[in-house]
């Protein structure tokens, strides 16, 4: 019996799914066809791992809304900063940013007039200067309540990531990325997760390394891993998985790195297409 259980685990596949622009449509909803396809693969003993740049609090709310909290369901949040078991509601890995680096980056962003925010377990955190339309947009669209703090100097717990937003002139974000690389590049990584969002996380954290780590924890061979995404922060997991799938609506860079490009986009059941073609 034990040998059969081990063999089943080795033969199960793991599907690593980005949320926005991949599993979710442009209204932040999941289609019925995508939902049914996921239900079928879970019933067969395969695993589904939501893999997102969102903070854990938002990812957990989304997983619950999608019904992805039972056996075989896991989360990777903060682009790899947190690995979470949704069935047992426990963190199985977490990597934070030292507080001096949080203060260093916030100080420079403040000098440049850039919107910058960070997170604790329950809230997106911003200083009074960033109590603005960007914060409200983010909080509303990603389902994360916000809290204004006097200063990041008052933080006592290390956050997992920072996020910068500029919807008017994203070139300023690229300039700030250069500054971070020069002054903290040995400890921090930065990347665009959309045209107007720049993520800042600990060095070496990305969806690709998180995919490898989660596969090892679940005892699933890399040759049984499939990933799907659309944006620049999905590139590492597109490359890390045995089969990396780009959505039809993905960026050119993601499509170029992918082993498969869906015919359907995120608004037309692209995830179900992947599941039906490669898992069921």
Instruction: Give the model's pLDDT for residue 3.
Output: 44
Residues of the chain with CATH 3.40.50.1000: 2-95+206-278
Residue ranges of the chain whose pLDDT lies below 70: 1-10
| CB burial string 144-180: b at 16+ within 10 A, e below | bebeeeeebeeeeebbbbbbbbbeeebebbeebbebb
The hierarchical CATH code for the domain 2-95+206-278 is: 3.40.50.1000
Give the burial class of 263: count Cβ atoms within 10 A of its Cβ; 0-12 exposed, 13-18 middle, 19 or more buried: exposed
- Domain 99-202 in CATH 3.30.1240.10? The answer is yes
Per residue in 157-194, pLDDT (tens digit) is 999 999 999 999 999 999 999 999 999 999 999 999 88
Write the CB contacts of 4 (distance below 8 Å, at least 6 apart in sequence): none
| CB burial string 21-47: b at 16+ within 10 A, e below | bbbbbeeeebbebbbebbeebbeeebb
The overall longest dimension of the chain from CA atoms, in Å, is 63
Instruction: Give the model's pLDDT for residue 10.
Output: 62
Which residues share a beta bridge with 191? 199
Residues of the chain with CATH 3.30.1240.10: 99-202
Task: Tell me which residue of 193, 167, 172, 155 sits closest to 21, measured CA to CA.
Answer: 193
Instruction: Give the model's pLDDT for residue 194.
Output: 87
Whether pTM > 0.75 for this model: the answer is: yes
């Amino acid at each position: 019996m034990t040998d059969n259980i081990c063999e089943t685990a080795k033969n199960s596949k793991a599907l690593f799914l980005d949320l926005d622009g991949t599993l979710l449509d442009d209204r932040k909803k999941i289609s019925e066809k995508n939902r049914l396809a996921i239900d079928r693969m879970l019933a067969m003993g395969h695993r589904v791992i939501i893999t997102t740049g969102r903070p854990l609090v938002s990812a957990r709310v989304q997983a619950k809304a999608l019904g992805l909290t039972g056996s075989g369901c896991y989360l990777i949040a903060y682009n790899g900063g947190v690995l979470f078991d949704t069935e047992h509601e426990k963190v199985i890995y977490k990597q934070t940013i030292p507080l001096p680096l949080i203060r260093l980056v916030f100080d420079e962003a403040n000098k440049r007039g850039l919107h910058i925010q960070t997170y604790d377990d329950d809230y997106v955190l911003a200083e009074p200067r960033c109590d603005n339309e960007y914060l409200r947009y983010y909080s509303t669209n990603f389902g994360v309540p916000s809290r204004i703090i006097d200063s990041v100097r008052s933080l006592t717990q290390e956050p997992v990531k920072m996020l910068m937003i500029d919807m008017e002139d994203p070139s300023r974000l690229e300039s700030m990325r250069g500054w971070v690389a020069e002054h903290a590049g040995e400890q921090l990584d930065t990347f665009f997760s959309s045209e107007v969002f720049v993520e800042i996380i600990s060095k070496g954290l990305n969806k690709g390394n998180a995919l490898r780590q989660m596969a090892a924890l679940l005892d699933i061979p890399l040759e049984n891993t499939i990933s799907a995404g659309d944006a620049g922060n999905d590139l590492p997991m597109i490359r890390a998985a045995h089969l990396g799938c780009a959505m039809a609506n993905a960026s050119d860079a993601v499509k170029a790195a992918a082993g498969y490009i869906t015919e359907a986009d995120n608004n037309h059941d692209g995830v179900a297409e992947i599941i039906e073609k490669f898992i069921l």
